[in-house]
Chain A
Amino acid sequence: MRADIKIKVCMGPSGIATGGADVIEAFKNEINSIGKKAIIEERCSLHQVGCLGFCAKDVLVEVVVDGKKTIYEYVKPGMVSRIVKEHILEGNPVTEWIAGEEYYNFHKKQIKVVLSNCGEIDPEDINAYLAVGGYEAARMALTLMSPEEIVEVVKSSNLRGRGGAGFPTGLKWDLSLKIKSDVKYVICNGDEGDPGAFMDRSVMEGDPHSVIEGMIICAKAIGSHQGYIYVRAEYPLAVKRLQIAINQCYEAGLLGENILGTGFDFDLKIYQGAGAFVCGEATALMRSIEGKRGMPTPKLWRSAEKGLWEKPTVLNNVETFANIPRIILKGADWYSSLGTERSGGTKVFALTGKMKNAGLIEVPLGITLREIIYDIGGGIENGRAFKAVQTGGPSGGCIPAELLDIEVDYESLALVGSIMGSGGMVVLDETDCMVDIAKFFLEFTQAESCGKCIPCRVGTKRMLEILNRITVGNAKEGDIELLEELGQDIKVTSLCGLGLTAPNPVLSTIRYFRNEYEAHIKDKKCPAAVCKDLITFSILEEFCNGCGACKRACPADAIIGKRKKIHKIDPEPCIKCGTCFDVCKFNAIMKM
């Protein structure tokens, strides 16, 4: 009896970083070295797959025997020989390494549409994609559907732009379809610049063909023959895998002239971004492809009318395109039924920060934040208390505990002062200072502001100066009000999305955590003990046993004390780096 055995090793961003390649190598060597080589090779295949999702437990390895899946977590090369011997040869899974309940809870409330192939198929193999129905949707769109029909399906699926702003995708395509022009462009925005976000990266690396297929369908719908995928240069693996996928498509006749014998032509090229957050903005991205400084231009007309090189252009995000083939295949009704009335489908989020189960998740729109954080994410690590969840990156805001029961969709997040954004979700606990978080984001947007319009260039700078003086204890009465006023002005007068949303992190933290700002200003205290200039370190005598770990670790020689005797911190040389707090195993260091 021949069984089908598949070994899948996670080679997503953190799978690679935690040594996924070594694990694959170990499996190869192990399989080659055992005597039953011939039998194994016939029965067993080894695959590298995209992100399996539960990044906190990488390297994840999935072993499938006769369709029965077993997931191993924290796999190291040294564990491979036992897995091969006991599980693959003898048929007894190594129980102590199998992923526990947490892994299953992590997946229970998720619905995988965009990520359905991520972690299942080898992203560098077009046959793997074809085997799961890949390019069927493109074939349907090219042979059976008119452009109007494609646009109608996308429209009624209720799919909205997954890049963050949530513009209805079908409407965008419709605008472009109706404009007559010989040359039109399709651009995929893979310039995932939000700090704390890796959704698009995982899709481009884990299932590049789905993005390409979505773009082919879009090209047919609007009548375009040239497409670009704009990928940030920081994602070399995404570039590599997309390029492999594009080459395979040209060979298979899925790109280039006369695709699938239908007479339709479409060329696709990768364009590497050079590292500028503002290039996520549509007009700036197009200027960047044109080889210029990526500075936004006033939106006198929509990109659908005049975009790249002044030609009609449809620009969508990676995740948006990856949704398209599934919508065409399974139908608009199926897709829209997954979400809420106003926003159809699912959304991928990068769940990170102070979570127990950090990772990549995909959930139906309309799920509550509480379900995401507690049911999927497993709650806060180290038993600390939840403080806020930051959504939407530098353009978004912080949502406090009392609003955890709101449903996640474009409107309700906007209503509480944040945005959906591209899908970064960073969870903060009681040890995070909200003023510091606001300052962190403003430092980012201020540095990334292209400098073209004054509200953004000067406004964010002034706001940052105020936040700086609040965190060092030099703030004045009225600074909060000044921040609010400036923020409102910047929000209405900036040229592009970067400036229009830059004040959000500050305004939302003032809205929900005003008392923290006040503590910094009036009492010169940082309640979360984060802002260096407002805290002091001391040693709690009753907990110190004189082990000397802090003294050895202190880079400023600010800790005095003899071995086995209670130590003390000299505030004069102390640089407040927090090293002693990190190394003390007895909780004897206090910062306040």
Chain B
Amino acid sequence: MEEVLEKILTTYRKEEGNIISILQYLEETFGYIPENAVNWFSKKLVIPASRFYGIATFYAQFHIKPPGKNIIIVCSGTACHVKGSDRLISGLKREFNLPEGEDTTADRKFTIERVACVGTCGMSPVALINKQVYGKMTANKLIKEIKILKGKKTGR
């Protein structure tokens, strides 16, 4: 891990980046912001870890907890909302038996996220399964896609 972090540090110095760019590199590399990585940078740059977390928790792009292997994003923009994105979410939660407040399945295979708008409103409601966009979705269609994924060996 240290090697990876060194590499990020070098790029950051070369590009005159800031805390946000470090966090973006971490998010890109690990899929979330690992605590030990933050501590490492905090020591190297003599910036308190709280500054990193203050920023990480402010922006929606950063995840503090590791996500599941497959990420399902349901768009909750206005156009998707009026075309029933809530039903997609509740359908998914039922399918995965997710308790209130939890967004990743116990086996860590799936994470459900809702985002404000992915910008493909012309084909609402929209969901993304591992970055692939699916338009004009219904809960049943979405679950069918997920079942195909469950059948396969899952992985990003």
Contact = CB atoms under 8 A, between A and B. Distances in A.
Contact of A235 (B119, B123, B133): B119
B120 A14 contact: yes
Interface string A446-467: 0010100000000000000000
A393 B117 CA distance: 11
A294 B58 contact: yes
A354 B68 CA distance: 34
B75 to A, nearest CB: 8
A444 B83 CA distance: 17
A226 to B, nearest CB: 12
B129 to A, nearest CB: 12
A501 interface: no
A483 interface: no
Contact of B18 (A193, A276, A291, A390): A291
Interface stretch (A143-151, A194-202, A253-261, A323-331): A194-202
A292 B78 contact: no
Contacts of B119: 13, 192, 197-198, 201, 234-235
Q: Chain A interface: which size bin?
A: 35 or more
B49 interface: no
Interface in B64-85: 76-79, 81-84
The interface centre, meaning the residue of A56, A195, A426, A553 with most chain B CB atoms within 10 A of its CB, is A195
B20 interface: yes
Given A17-B135, A352-B124, A276 B58 contact: yes
A208 interface: no
A390 B82 CA distance: 11
A400 interface: no
Interface stretch (B36-44, B86-94, B146-154): B86-94
A293 B24 contact: no
A291 B23 CA distance: 10
A440 B62 CA distance: 23
The interface centre, meaning the residue of B20, B58, B61, B117 with most chain A CB atoms within 10 A of its CB, is B117
A432 B78 CA distance: 12
A55 B123 contact: yes
B123 A18 contact: yes
A238 B139 CA distance: 29
B94 A196 contact: no
A196 B138 contact: no
A55 B55 contact: no
Contacts, number: 140
A196 B24 contact: no
A16 B133 contact: yes
A582 B135 contact: no
A195 B59 CA distance: 16
Contact of B82 (A275, A290, A437): A437
Interface string A412-445: 0000000000001010100010000100110010
B79 A272 contact: no
Contact of B94 (A201, A448, A555, A582): A555
Contact of B24 (A192, A272, A432, A448): A272
Contact of A14 (B17, B54, B62, B122): B122
Given A291-B18, A428-B82, A577-B90, A17 B60 contact: no
A553 B143 CA distance: 12
Nearest to B76: A195
Nearest to B140: A553
A294 B59 contact: yes
B8 interface: no
A233 interface: yes
Given A17-B133, A354-B82, A275 B139 contact: no
A397 B155 CA distance: 43
6 contacts: A198-B119, A198-B121, A275-B59, A276-B60, A426-B82, A555-B91
Given A358-B121, A582-B87, 19 more contacts: A55-B121, A56-B123, A58-B122, A193-B116, A195-B77, A196-B121, A198-B121, A198-B122, A233-B24, A234-B117, A274-B24, A290-B18, A291-B19, A291-B55, A424-B78, A428-B82, A437-B82, A553-B140, A583-B140
